[in-house]
Chain A
């Protein structure tokens, strides 16, 4: 889901920076108000987790690969704003050092994975987990569903951003200038693989780590 350079035209990647920067600002402001400097190691851990979990590429035989992001898990443990910052930094380092995701697509990729994964994942988790005990099964189910839904939302957004390119960015002869696949190809391809496989991987990762925290660090589940 790391959109590379060259797939999105300037109108799209520019818009996505404009959309994402306010979320970075709000997240920084929220953390500034609530974060204790002693909590910095936990944010660093969250970012490290997101970075490494995205290296676990899961294959579809003979097809493509995908991976979990950890965004919803981090949002559950550290709050959505901490998740936005941690996952965004992981994505920016991946783009700059490893060419995983484009420099021009940093706004889009951070919105799709960090902002949506953090905020939507956290919102869905809180909705389902509301009123439940920190050690309850419901917390695990809530985390799994939140992770599954938010990753699929991220995939859908990436697919739409890619799929509109042939519509809005064309040469005078009508040839696509950037990602050449229309919505009718991009959406099924991206969404189906996340609905059928990668979403479940994100859900399992989230529930497993939550289970670990329930057992060993229940205080962190509030």
Chain B
């Protein structure tokens, strides 16, 4: 058993349609993504374990650890928690914000990986 990358996909004429079909699948997931926002809200589930904010930590253990206070605000993300629409806007508006966040996130993620893969793939040809 080798852990080397498999000769993944042989590119053929069906490729465009395959890629298109798979992107449609991603699109459907994006549209369905608010499920990941709505169901936890309806069931009263909070965030993930160990991902609480400072206020929640204070409630949980009675104090905010010093190092955590310093580090927790080291980075200000432009769209915290995928809440493009803001918080407490109602689930419909928040869902829309969630979908838009997914689209923005996927654009950045797929774009970065695409460029990276193109770059890595190209270097190989030059080395040959």
- Is chain B a partner of chain A in the same complex? yes
Chain A residues, CB < 8 A from B77: 95-99
B118 within 8 A of A: yes
B120 and A32 contact, CB distance less than 8 A: yes
Contact A39 B121 (CB under 8 A): yes
Distance from B97 Cβ to chain A, minimum over Cβ atoms (Å): 11
Verify B120–A31 contact, CB threshold 8 A: yes
Which of A56, A81, A103, A189 is packed against the most chain B CB atoms within 10 Å? A56
**Min distance, Cβ A42 to any Cβ of chain B, angstroms:** 6
Q: Which residues of A contact B104 (CB under 8 A)?
A: 97
**Nearest-neighbor residue (CB-CB) of A103 within chain B:** B75
Contact call A98/B79, Cβ cutoff below 8 A? yes
Interface majority SS (helix, strand, loop, mixed), chain B: helix
Nearest residue, chain A, Cβ from B57: A180
> Given that A47-B113, A93-B109 are known contacts, is A30 also in contact with B5, CB under 8 Å in the complex?
yes
Chain A window 1-45, contacts with chain B (Cβ cutoff 8 Å), 1 for yes, 0 for no: 111111101000000000000000000101111111111111111
Please count how many residues in chain B sit with their CB below 8 Å of the partner chain's CB atoms: 80
A159 to B118, CA, bound (A): 36
Q: Does B13 contact A (CB under 8 A)?
A: no
Residues of chain A at the chain B interface (Cβ within 8 Å)? 1-7, 9, 28, 30-53, 55-67, 77-82, 85-86, 89-90, 93-100, 102-104, 119, 122-123, 126-127, 130, 158-159, 162, 169, 171, 175-181, 186, 189-190, 193, 216-217, 219-220, 222
Which B residues lie at the A interface, using CB under 8 A?
A: 1, 3-11, 15, 18-19, 21-23, 26, 29-30, 32-33, 35-37, 39-40, 43-51, 54, 57, 61, 63, 65-82, 98, 101-102, 104-106, 108-114, 116-118, 120-125, 127
